[in-house]
Amino acid sequence: MTEKLKRQANLLPEKPGIYLFKNESGEIIYVGKARSIRERVLSYFQPSPDPKVQNIMAEAVSVDFILTDSEKEAAFLENNFIQKHQPKFNLRLKDDKSFPYLKITCQDRFPGVYLCRRVENDGARYFGPFSPARSARTTIHLLNKYFGLRPCEEKIPGHRTRPCLEYEMKLCSGPCVGFISEEEYRKNVDNALLFLEGKTEKLLTLLHQRMMEAAENLAFEQAAHWRDTIRAIDQIREKPKLISVGLENADIVGLARKGNEISFYVFFMRRGKVIESEEIVWQEKEPKEITLVLKNFLLDFYSSKEIPERILLPLEPQDKKELEYILQKKRGQKINLIVPRRGKDREIVNLANRNAEFLLFKGLAESESLLVLQKSLGLEKLPKRIEGFDISNTGGEESVGSMVVFIDGLPEKREYRRYRVRTVTGPDDIASLKEVLERRYRKTIEEGAPTPDLILIDGGKGQLQAAKEVLTRLKLPSSIALIALAKKEEIIYSEHHPSGLHLESTSPALKLLQHIRDEAHRFALSLHRQRREKKSFASELQTIPGIGPKRLKILFSHFESLEEIKQAEQSKLQTLIGRQAAIALKNYFLQKNEF
């Protein structure tokens, strides 16, 4: 199951977004955010002492993702999904406490500005959310300082006869003591609202000037203050797409098409938050107008789904008015099919489109690179099964060979094999390669082992010729393609390209071949290192009284490394090599302080 999950992880995008681990019943058990979804998810496959990671990997059988435009946007979406789905391994963010908002109580005679955690339908204006929370507090400070909005909840009129400390610090205009009229205060509120709506060009220019002046005067603390203020304003201008303070309900539909295959991606926004998504792939028997495909999809999709008041679409469906009438009749209330042209709505539709495009890519990712590889090498058929070989040794000693298997462009680690070279002495990579290929493909003849579509050899013309000789001698099918990839120049040699083929460094075909070659090298090198270590500790153990060649062979057959022998139970060692030899072994390690 872990191997299948890792194959899924290898297909994830190296883009920002959230990832969702799911258990066998499809329930979300963990939601996380990342700058690179693929890198973050693959990190879960590394050994970890963290019990939470271990528990997630023990239960997870699949991993899904949602792309966002930034890591900050991913943080907002992560929060939405955790609060909606309450995954068992997410300990943070499960309560109602969320990212902070700014609230301006426009329903009051003298509105104040406050930090809050929840948007309510109470007549106030809300802005945000903000991440990190300190940027919200910085923004409140700006509104107090530049627009004189009050930060308190003092009753107006009240009993106060003199202004508070906030007024003395020029962080309030003093409406509670009549230092500003209601009309003038309302103008300040309107200007503050324009500022919060992103109309901040003049203010930013002024703040940049002040920051540079402070830096030139070596007033670095002051410069840092203006820098943080500018960042807070930039955050105000950057409107999050996946959270809306309007508390609206809307579905956002994205689509992508490749041939007769069409993918749809739908975001569900409820009370201003995207809390769920759904992905659907359609196969069309015959090509149809995309507008008609979209119409048919919407009719089918909303035959069993709740219909919100707004549906945002990437393009206008065929017979839009008729479609609106059908959906409106089913809902029992008015609905709007909207094709946004600009602004936040257009941005979230574009994000849905990107997720739809990657939904197609998820199914085609492997075959895309394989198709390019087939075309580049002039292969008869798609190389669905590729076997890669490498030889590793040090000065001709402890030579080992490796075979890695890639199916549909992804590693199939259960089929990896390593070979200890038996018949070759000295640093002869070509002879070692011949032995390894002979042993591997004799199995195809004798035991009916799977036949590859493509064999990749790490090396150049000499290695290619040696491999060809082995395959010819074994009378393997001529349909098996054979290539060699030279390391330094990254040149591909084959029967069709005897002088070498150069592919662009960005070619998905070359990247796939490099991945296979590097994986074969890594796999061979790990065995070679093990053998060198064994040889090293063999010579070390032979100095212990009672440990001769016969007992060494027994130890090697049961333990992979010196560390394993050190950690072995004394009773097990006695069973394998006898009581006296086991005691001598223990005493040896004790003297070296290694037990």
Q: pLDDT band for 553, please (50, 70, 90 cuts).
A: confident
Q: Considering only CA atoms, which of 469, 452, 506, 462 is closest in space to residue 484?
A: 462
pLDDT confidence of residue 482: 95
Average pLDDT over every residue of 42-48: 87
pLDDT confidence of residue 364: 47
User: pLDDT higher for 491 or 592?
Assistant: 491
Q: pLDDT band for 240, please (50, 70, 90 cuts).
A: low
Q: Please give the Cα distance from 469 to 566 (Å, whole number).
A: 46
Q: Please give the Cα distance from 426 to 437 (Å, whole number).
A: 18
What per-residue string of b and e applies to 522-541 under the rule 16 or more CB within 10 Å gives b? ebbeebbeebeebeebbeeb
Average pLDDT over every residue of 299-303: 88
User: pLDDT higher for 366 or 362?
Assistant: 362
pLDDT > 70: percent of the chain: 86
Average pLDDT over every residue of 504-527: 81
Q: Please give the Cα distance from 299 to 244 (Å, whole number).
A: 27
Q: pLDDT band for 94, please (50, 70, 90 cuts).
A: low
Assigned CATH for 385-530: 3.30.420.340
Average pLDDT over every residue of 355-373: 70
Q: Which of the listed ranges 167-171, 175-179, 373-377, 582-586 does the model predict with the highest average pLDDT?
A: 373-377
pLDDT confidence of residue 534: 55
Residue 456 reports pLDDT greater than 90: yes
Backbone φ and ψ of 137, nearest 5°: -65, -35
Name, in order, each residue with C-beta under 8 angstroms of 183's C-beta and a sequence gap of 6 or more: none
pLDDT confidence of residue 415: 87
Domain regions of the chain by residue span = 2-85, 101-237, 250-361, 385-530, 542-591
Backbone φ and ψ of 121, nearest 5°: -90, 75
Q: pLDDT band for 437, please (50, 70, 90 cuts).
A: very high
Which of 191-195, 492-496, 536-540 has the weakest average pLDDT?
Answer: 536-540
pLDDT confidence of residue 455: 96
Residue 501 reports pLDDT greater than 50: yes
Q: Which tens digits make up the pLDDT trace of 378-392?
A: 998 889 899 999 988
CATH level 2 (architecture), domain 2-85: 3-Layer(aba) Sandwich (3.40)
Q: Considering only CA atoms, which of 231, 254, 273, 250 is closest in space to residue 347?
A: 254
pLDDT confidence of residue 218: 77
Which of 67-71, 168-172, 237-241, 463-467 has the weakest average pLDDT?
Answer: 237-241
pLDDT confidence of residue 578: 85
- A 10 A CB-CB count for 571 gives 9
User: pLDDT higher for 212 or 286?
Assistant: 212
- Note whether 515 and 365 are within 8 A (CB): no
User: pLDDT higher for 558 or 477?
Assistant: 477
Average pLDDT over every residue of 127-139: 77
Report the chain's C-alpha Rg in angstroms: 34
Q: pLDDT band for 362, please (50, 70, 90 cuts).
A: low
* Residue-averaged pLDDT of the chain: 81
Q: Which CATH number fits domain 250-361: 1.10.1060.10, 3.40.50.620, 3.30.420.40, 3.30.420.10?
A: 3.30.420.10
Which of 166-175, 523-532, 555-564 has the weakest average pLDDT?
Answer: 523-532
Q: Please give the Cα distance from 462 to 483 (Å, whole number).
A: 11
Residue 464 reports pLDDT greater than 90: yes
pLDDT > 90: percent of the chain: 12
Exposure on the CB side of residue 35, measured as CA atoms within 13 A: 0
pLDDT confidence of residue 548: 78
pLDDT confidence of residue 491: 93
pLDDT confidence of residue 528: 47
Q: Please give the Cα distance from 145 to 192 (Å, whole number).
A: 11
Name, in order, each residue with C-beta under 8 angstroms of 7's C-beta and a sequence gap of 6 or more: 410, 411
Average pLDDT over every residue of 10-33: 87
Q: pLDDT band for 108, please (50, 70, 90 cuts).
A: confident
- Identical fold at 250-361 and 385-530? yes
- Note whether 406 and 412 are within 8 A (CB): yes
pLDDT confidence of residue 85: 84
What per-residue string of b and e applies to 337-351 under the rule 16 or more CB within 10 Å gives b? beebeeeebeebbeb
Q: Which of the listed ranges 208-222, 253-267, 295-309, 359-373 does the model predict with the highest average pLDDT?
A: 295-309
Q: pLDDT band for 19, please (50, 70, 90 cuts).
A: very high
pLDDT confidence of residue 203: 67
CATH level 2 (architecture), domain 542-591: Orthogonal Bundle (1.10)
